[in-house]
Amino acid sequence: MSVADAGIETAPIVRRRLPPAVRRRRMLVAIADHSLIIATAIIFLLPVVFIFLTSLMTNQQALSPKLWPDPFQWGNYREVFTSAPLWRWALNSFIYSSLATIGLLVSSVPVAYALARLRWRGREAAFLVVLVALMLPPQVTVVPLYVMWAKLHLVGTLWPLILPNWLGDAFAIFLLRQFFLTIPEEYLDAARVDGCGEFRILTTVVLRLAKPAIAAVALFSVLYTWNDFFLPLLYVGENPDNWVTSIGLAQFRGLHQVQWNLTMAATLLVMLPVIVLFFVAQKAFVEGITLTGVKG
């Protein structure tokens, strides 16, 4: 740990040697700061550590107060796959995720562009409508939509989850618009002078400049669909063939009585793709989240 002073303080213009009392105080503050952050980090890590340890226990041990697996039963991870159709659920989740994300990007990008970069009467009102849609709890519209999908005989399939994404998603539109607004007008004007239509400008200039935002939106969408529970519960909850991972995991303990060790192994396996995705695309994530915090 460094002896430097704590946190937000900044370097004064002229660095003088500080009196020993002040230096000692600052060092104590720094130690307190770091102890606090380390303690908090340990608390944050603890759940995952315990889940991992439990996933390696025998079933009997998982139901005892022992915290350390003895013996380490790595075979649990094999048994999870034989005891539940984990791959099937993952495949369904993958289908939902990929089709929804592709549709969401294809349909939301032009809308966001029209809201950010084309000038037309009613644009501000239209953006307000997007914001309202963003705020609306999904429960408000869910009954008639369920009736609609039931009448189309699509309840039990993944389509009620996928298809709405092909007609624009409020959050994606919002995020992309925020980013498109930051693109300097000169780039677009240059393309216009060269005789590009708006469609060409969008597909060449804007898309190239907006890669980070598009990556962030795609990431959020993949994450959202992988984690989504409420809508899959409604639409595929009754059809185990089309269960996605979140539904399967929620039912896992029902299928296997009290097998906490296997349940924790499955839990960890469901967490894993998300964590891997984060480490692969960490920068895009953080940029994207920060983008949501920017006022529009």
Partner 1 sequence: MTVAPAAGAHSSAPAPATPVIDRRRARKRAAWRRRGTVLLFMSPWLAGFTIFFGYPLVMSAYLSFTHYDLLNPPRWVGLANYRYLLGTDAQVWPAIRNTLWLIAFMVPLQVMFAFGVAVMLTRAKRGVGFFRTVFYLPALIPPVAATLGFVYLLNPATGPINTLLGKIGITGPLWFNDPTWAKPSLVLLSLWGIGNTMIIFLAAVLDVPQHLYESAELDGAGAMQRLRWVTLPIISPVILFALVLAVIQGLQYFTQAYVAATVAGGSASQAGSQSNLEIGYPEGSTLFYPVLLYYQGFRFFNMGYASAMAMLLLVVAFAATLLILRNSKRWVHYQGAAR
Give, as ranges, the residues between 128 and 147 that touch partner 1 (CB under 8 A).
Answer: 129-130, 133, 135-147
Helix H or strand E encompassing 283:
helix 282-293
Q: Is 197 in the site for partner 1 (CB under 8 A)?
A: yes
- Return the structure tokens found at 60: 């009997």
Least separation in angstroms between CB 208 and partner 1: 18
Q: Is 246 in the site for partner 1 (CB under 8 A)?
A: yes
CA 226 to chain CA mean position, Å = 8
Rounded Cα–Cα distance for residues 164 and 171 (Å): 13
DSSP label at residue 157: B
Give, as ranges, the residues between 45 and 64 that touch partner 1 (CB under 8 A).
Answer: 45, 47-48, 50-51, 54, 62-64
Give, as ranges, the residues between 65 and 124 that touch partner 1 (CB under 8 A).
Answer: 65, 67, 107-108, 110-111, 113-115, 118-121
| Closer of 182 and 282 to partner 1 (Cβ) | 282
Among 80, 100, 173, 213, binds partner 1 (CB under 8 A): 173
Which among 222, 108, 225 has a CA at the least distance from the CA of 176?
A: 108
Give, as ranges, the residues between 8 and 37 that touch partner 1 (CB under 8 A).
Answer: 8-10, 12, 29-30, 33-34, 36-37
Q: Is 153 in the site for partner 1 (CB under 8 A)?
A: no
Q: Is 278 in the site for partner 1 (CB under 8 A)?
A: yes
- Sequence-ordered list of residues with C-beta below 8 angstroms from that of 126, at least 6 positions apart, any chain: 115
The residue length of the chain stands at 296
Q: Is 242 in the site for partner 1 (CB under 8 A)?
A: no
Rounded Cα–Cα distance for residues 234 and 244 (Å): 12
Among 86, 262, 270, 284, binds partner 1 (CB under 8 A): 270
Which among 165, 166, 164, 158 has a CA at the least distance from the CA of 91?
A: 158
| Closer of 92 and 263 to partner 1 (Cβ) | 263
Q: Residues in contact with partner 1, total (CB under 8 A)?
A: 103
| Closer of 47 and 71 to partner 1 (Cβ) | 47
What is the DSSP track for 226-264?
HH--HHHHHHHTT-GGG--HHHHHHHHHHHTTT-HHHHH
Least separation in angstroms between CB 209 and partner 1: 17
Helical pair 86-117 and 245-255, crossing angle rounded to 10 deg = 150
Q: Is 243 in the site for partner 1 (CB under 8 A)?
A: no
Q: Is 249 in the site for partner 1 (CB under 8 A)?
A: yes
